[in-house]
Amino acid sequence: MSNSTNGAFGDQKIFDHMQKFGHKKLVFCSDNDIGLQLVIAIHSTALGPATGGLRMWPYKNKSEAVLDALRLSRGMTYKYAAAGVNLGGGKAVIIGDAKTDKSEALFRSVGRMIDQQGGDYITGADVGITLDDLELIYTETDHVVTLPEHAGGAGYISPATALGSIEAMRSCVNRVWGGTELKGYRVALQGLGKVGMEAVKMLVDEGAEVIVCDVDEEKVESAVSRFGVRSVATDAIYDQEVDIFAPYALGAVINDETIPRLKAKVVAGSANNILAEDRHGEELDQRGITYAVDFVANSGGTILDTDRYRKGGFQRERAMNSVRGIHGRMEEIFSICDQQKVTAQRAAEVMAERRIREMEKVSLLSRPLTVHY
C-alpha cells in the first residue's frame, strides 16, 4: 500500500494516480449555494461497499484534498481486509474549517451527495466531524455507519480506536523487549484529539511515563492537569529519550527529517498514513525500530463501528473482543515479517491482500451460473 507520490500531487495526473493504486471512483461534489466542496474517493468494493470516515479540514488547495481522500480510501481497503471486516475502502473530505464552516444545510447537502452514490460509499466519523454532524447527514441518507446509540449506532468510537492502538503497542513491546505490560515504559505521544487523549489515559493508568504535545495548547493543559503528564513543544516530540513514539495526530510524520531524530525503539499510534512513503518503513526496519502498521493499529474504532453489520446486529462485548484481537493480528504480521523477510508494512499488506483474494474467490463461487444452450 505505497504512499509515495513522487512529488506534489499537482504534478501527476489524477487518472494515472488512480490506475497506479487501483482506485475505482473519484467523485467531486459542489453546492455553491451552501459553499460545499466535497471529494468522495472509492478505492475498492471487493469485500463490500466502500466505507470510511468523512474528514473536514482547511486544505491549502483542492489537489491536497484529493490526494488525502485517495490515500485514505486505499488505507481503508487494507484496514478492513486486515481487520476481517467485510467492507471495502472509501473516504470523503470536505474542504473547510470545522470550527467556522459547519451548518445544518452543509451536512444535509453532504448526505444527499452520498445518497446519490447508490450505496457504493458509506460514511463515518473522521477529523473535524462529530456524531451530531453525522446524524444530520443521516437525515438524508441511510449510508452512515458512525451514529449515536439512540440512532442505532455504536456511539463514540474513540475509546475503541485508542484501545486497539494500545493493543498494537503491546505487541510491539513484546517483540522488542518481551512481555505485554506497559508499566515503566516511556512514551512520546503526539496529538491530543479524542483518540490521543483516550490513549494518554490508558497509558497513565497502566503506569507508563508519558510525554505529550499538540498544536492546541488547551488540550495540552488539559492532559497535563488531568493525567500529570509532561509536555513539550510540538517539534521537540521527536527528540525525546523514550522507548515508544506514539503518533496520534495527522499522517506522514515518519519521514526523512524525523527518522534520524527518533530515540524510540517502537513506533505505534493511531494516526493514518504515518509513513510519508513506504521506504520510510524500510528505514525504520534498518534502524531496528519496530513499527505497528497504522491501518492495523488504528482499526479498533472501525471494528466497533461496523459490528452492527454482523449477524445479530450490534453487540458491544463481541465488538470489543474483536478490538482486543488487534494484538493477535500484529503478532501475525510479525510472523510474516520473519518468514518472508519483509517490513511490517509489507507484511500487513500481504495479510490484507491474501484475504481480499480469498474473499474474491468466495464471491465468484457464490455467483449464480448462467447456462447457455
Q: Per residue in 125-168, pLDDT tens?
A: 888 999 999 999 999 999 999 999 999 899 989 999 999 999 99
Q: Is residue 111 part of a domain?
A: yes
Identify the band that residue 108 occupies on the pLDDT scale cut at 50, 70 and 90. very high
CATH number of the CATH domain containing 23? 3.40.50.10860
Q: Per residue in 328-348, pLDDT tens?
A: 999 999 999 999 999 999 999
At residue 366, does pLDDT exceed 80?
Answer: no
Q: What pLDDT was estimated at residue 9? A: 53
Q: What pLDDT was estimated at residue 372? A: 42
User: In b/e form, how buried is each residue of 78-102, taking b as 16+ CB within 10 angstroms?
Assistant: bbbbbbebbbbbbbbbbbbebeebb
Same domain? 125 vs 167: no
Residues in the chain: 373
Percent over 70 (pLDDT), the chain = 94
Three-state secondary structure along the chain? CCCCCCCCHHHCCHHHHHHHHCCCEEEEEEECCCCEEEEEEEEECCCCCEEEEEEEECCCCHHHHHHHHHHHHHHHHHHHHHHCCCCEEEEEEEECCCCCCCCHHHHHHHHHHHHCCCCCEEEEECCCCCHHHHHHHHCCCCCECCCCHHHCCCCCCHHHHHHHHHHHHHHHHHHHCCCCCCCCCEEEEECCCHHHHHHHHHHHHHCCEEEEECCCHHHHHHHHHHHCCEECCHHHHHHCCCCEEEECCCCCCECCCCHHHCCCCEECCCCCCCECCHHHHHHHHHCCCEECCHHHHCCHHHHHHHHHHCCCCCCHHHHHHHHHCHHHHHHHHHHHHHHHCCCHHHHHHHHHHHHHHHHHHHHHHHCCCCCCC
Same domain? 218 vs 101: no
Same domain? 176 vs 293: yes
Same domain? 128 vs 178: no
Q: Is residue 281 part of a domain?
A: yes
Q: Is residue 81 part of a domain?
A: no
Q: What pLDDT was estimated at residue 364? A: 53
286: burial class by Cβ within 10 Å (0-12, 13-18, 19+)? exposed
Q: Per residue in 271-301, pLDDT tens?
A: 988 999 999 999 999 999 999 999 999 999 9
Mean pLDDT of the 249-275 span: 95
Question: How far, in Å, CA of 99 to CA of 301, rounded?
Answer: 23
At residue 303, does pLDDT exceed 60?
Answer: yes
Question: How far, in Å, CA of 327 to CA of 167, rounded?
Answer: 5
Number of structural domains in the chain? 2
Q: Is residue 313 part of a domain?
A: no
Same domain? 123 vs 224: no
Q: How many other C-beta atoms are found inside a 10 Å radius of the C-beta of residue 200?
A: 24
Q: Is residue 139 part of a domain?
A: yes
Percent over 90 (pLDDT), the chain = 85
Identify the band that residue 250 occupies on the pLDDT scale cut at 50, 70 and 90. confident
Q: In which domain, by residue range, is 57 found? A: 10-75+88-151
Q: What is the mean pLDDT of the chain?
A: 92
Q: What pLDDT was estimated at residue 130? A: 94
Q: Is residue 321 part of a domain?
A: no
Q: What pLDDT was estimated at residue 29? A: 97
At residue 47, does pLDDT exceed 90?
Answer: yes
Same domain? 230 vs 347: yes
Mean pLDDT of the 45-52 span: 94
Same domain? 116 vs 174: no
Question: How far, in Å, CA of 128 to CA of 56, rounded?
Answer: 5
Q: Is residue 320 part of a domain?
A: no
Q: What pLDDT was estimated at residue 270? A: 97
Q: Which three cell numbers stand for residue 285?
A: 526496519
Mean pLDDT of the 46-73 span: 94
At residue 79, does pLDDT exceed 50?
Answer: yes
CATH number of the CATH domain containing 255? 3.40.50.720
pTM (2 d.p.): 0.84
Q: Per residue in 189-248, pLDDT tens?
A: 999 999 999 999 999 999 999 999 999 999 999 999 999 999 999 999 999 999 999 999
Q: Which three cell numbers stand for residue 303?
A: 471494528
Q: Is residue 128 part of a domain?
A: yes
Domain boundary among 151, 186, 203: 151
Task: Respond yes or no: is residue 99 known to be catalytic.
Answer: no
Among residues 24, 79, 91, 219, the one annotated as catalytic is 91
Q: What pLDDT was estimated at residue 360? A: 77
